[in-house]
Amino acid sequence: EGKVEAVRERLEKAQKEKWALRKRCKRAEGVLARAVARTRRKAAKENSKFRVYNHGFYTRKARAMARFLISTGTSEKNVGKVIQTMGGIMGKSIDRVMSARTVQRVVAEGGLAAEMQVCQEIINTPDLTYSSDGTSHLHVEYVSRAMALKVDGKHALQTFGVNSTTDKSAKTQFDGLRNRLGQFSETWNNSPLAKRTGQVFHPEFFITKLRGTSGNHAKDN
């Protein structure tokens, strides 16, 4: 009889532990479900946001969007509003509007980056060709310049931009090219990248690697 009583007590204890464990499991299921729900809500909230500003700076994507909108003809004062509106259409919350002054700086930053890219590609290429063309608008002469070269083994075309000029003579175009290369040189040589890599750019690099020129007038070449 003593053994039966001992077994009964152990059985009752085991049943109590079983029910206590079952309750803990149910509580754990509830805690897990609430944690999952909170995570999903947080993820949904984060996914509904598009960060244009992070740690005191506009993100690279935001700056790229601003430059693209400027290239399509969007005015500087409307760029921030357009980004915010397009974000809302796509279900993204954008709580910061880029100002016209910031857009100006972003465009200038892109121009400097483009000049540095031209310098780096001239430094790294063994040879290149050059072409130019001109036109006029409202009695103002403009000339565009470009070069063809290989970048990472592939053919590429780089523009030097479009600039106003006094006339289309060969001397004026040559002086314009020399001034443009001098501007590129100043940008590159004063950049942190040039100081970090130890590479220096001189306008003469362009001449030593030039293998041919083309234009729409014989006197331009």
pLDDT tens profile 152-201: 888 999 989 888 888 878 888 889 999 999 999 999 999 999 999 999 99
* pLDDT value, residue 118: 93
With a cut of 70, say whether residue 204 has pLDDT above it. yes
Predicted pLDDT of residue 108: 93
Say which residues have a Cβ less than 8 Å from residue 8's Cβ, sequence separation at least 6.
Answer: none
Q: Cβ contacts of residue 96 below 8 Å, gap of 6+?
A: 52, 53
Query: Cα–Cα distance between 165 and 136 in angstroms, integer?
Result: 10
The per-residue pLDDT for 74 is 92
**Phi (first) and psi of residue 93, to 5 degrees:** -95, 120
- What is the pLDDT at residue 47? 58
User: Percent of the chain, pLDDT > 90?
Assistant: 43
